[in-house]
Amino acid sequence: MTAELGVNIDHVATVRQARRAVEPDPVAAAVLAELGGADSITVHLREDRRHIQDRDVHILRQTVRTRLNLEMAVAEEVVAVACQVVPDQATLVPEKREELTTEGGLDVVGNLERVSAVAARLKSVGIKVSCFIEPDPAQIEASIKAGADAVELHTGSYANAGREALDDELKRIYDAVAHAGEGGVRVHAGHGLTYWNIAPLAEIPEILEFNIGHSIVSRAVLVGMERAVREMKALLVETAG
Ligand code: PXP
């Protein structure tokens, strides 16, 4: 079975917020991602609202035709938004204000009570819950205890591994996938995945969903650049008569 592809469009909002402008609109990007075959749209509503805004999440809830996956911290304020918006899935992630992107997995072992309480609230309104964790047996077991429907294995260490460390990182992922399977929880994976490093993970049939952002948005900028410039150039030519 082919794994599903969740497309994370946060970076589209990052470009918009760089100018506090109205474009590019992540809502439009979501429509195009779905036309391209995305199986779900992922956005991270960060507490500092540095990219995705509340308005985006509310509109996406109305417009996404596949599934909406909301990445979120276990903070009260975002939990309230999630319970109001009711995405199809919430992925619980750690969040530090100073980080460039989500660094490391959620420590479910150390925050079992809080994660369990948040998972229960989200599930009570019909949201599926996924925990974004390191590929570590203790974190998998804690996520299951917390009531998670899925675990998303953090693939950052795999993505950053040099040649020597790659086999060890892959083995960590294989072992985690097997462990999660024994616990009966769905397995997702994401972070740092690219057109170059996805293949070995795509071969693991138990991974049911990949969430990919940076690499896809980066490619979209490059494959769209030539057309965008041609269109502006054509306007100049037309206007000059
Ligand atoms: N999954 C989760 C839980 C994330 O926090 C992120 C980054 O926002 C991703 C997947 C996507 O990572 P990347 O942008 O490196 O593809």
Distance CA 130, CA 143 (A): 8
**pLDDT band at 102; cut points 50, 70, 90:** low
- Average pLDDT on 173-197 reads 98
Element (H, E) at 71: strand 68-72
Domains belonging to the chain, first-starting first, are 4-240 (3.20.20.70)
Which residue CA neighbors atom 6 of ligand 1 most closely? Answer: 191
pLDDT tens readout for residues 78-92: 999 999 999 999 999
Identify whether 191 is a catalytic site residue: yes
- Say how many C-beta atoms besides its own lie within 10 A of residue 194's C-beta: 13
Residue 95 confidence (pLDDT) above 90:
no
**pLDDT band at 136; cut points 50, 70, 90:** very high
Ligand 1 pocket mutation, candidates 14, 71, 221, criterion most atoms within 8 A of CB: 71
Distance CA 190, CA 175 (A): 16
- Say how many C-beta atoms besides its own lie within 10 A of residue 106's C-beta: 27
Q: What is the position in ligand 1's atom list of the atom closest to the CA of 216? A: 16
187 CA to centre of ligand 1 in angstroms: 15
Distance CA 75, CA 178 (A): 31
| Arithmetic mean of pLDDT over the chain | 96
Give the pLDDT confidence score for residue 98 in this predicted structure.
65
Handedness of CA 85, 89, 95, 99 (dihedral sign): negative
Distance CA 171, CA 175 (A): 6
Distance CA 150, CA 91 (A): 9
Identify whether 58 is a catalytic site residue: no
Ligand 1 pocket mutation, candidates 74, 89, 91, 101, criterion most atoms within 8 A of CB: 101
pLDDT tens readout for residues 143-160: 999 999 999 999 999 999
Q: What is the position in ligand 1's atom list of the atom closest to the CA of 11? A: 14
Q: Which residues contact ligand 1 via a Cβ below 6 A? A: 8, 10, 44, 71, 91, 93, 101-102, 132, 152, 190-193, 211-215
Distance CA 9, CA 212 (A): 9
Residue 103 confidence (pLDDT) above 80:
no
| pLDDT more than 90, % of the chain | 94
**pLDDT band at 161; cut points 50, 70, 90:** very high
Residue 99 confidence (pLDDT) above 80:
no
Contact 93, 118 (CB under 8 A): no
**pLDDT band at 240; cut points 50, 70, 90:** confident
Considering only residues 103 and 231, tell me which one the structure prediction assigns the higher pLDDT.
231
Which entry of 71, 95, 134, 152 is annotated as an active-site residue?
71
227 CA to centre of ligand 1 in angstroms: 28
pLDDT tens readout for residues 31-49: 999 999 999 999 999 999 9
Residue 241 confidence (pLDDT) above 80:
no
Which entry of 44, 51, 154, 179 is annotated as an active-site residue?
44
Which entry of 95, 154, 191, 209 is annotated as an active-site residue?
191
191 CA to centre of ligand 1 in angstroms: 4
In sequence order, the 6+-apart residues with CB closer than 8 A to the CB of 177 are: 135, 153, 187, 204, 206, 207
Strands (E) in 167-206, as ranges, are 186-190
Instruction: Please tell me the number of Cα atoms within 13 Å of 210 on its side-chain side.
Output: 25
Residue 97 confidence (pLDDT) above 80:
no
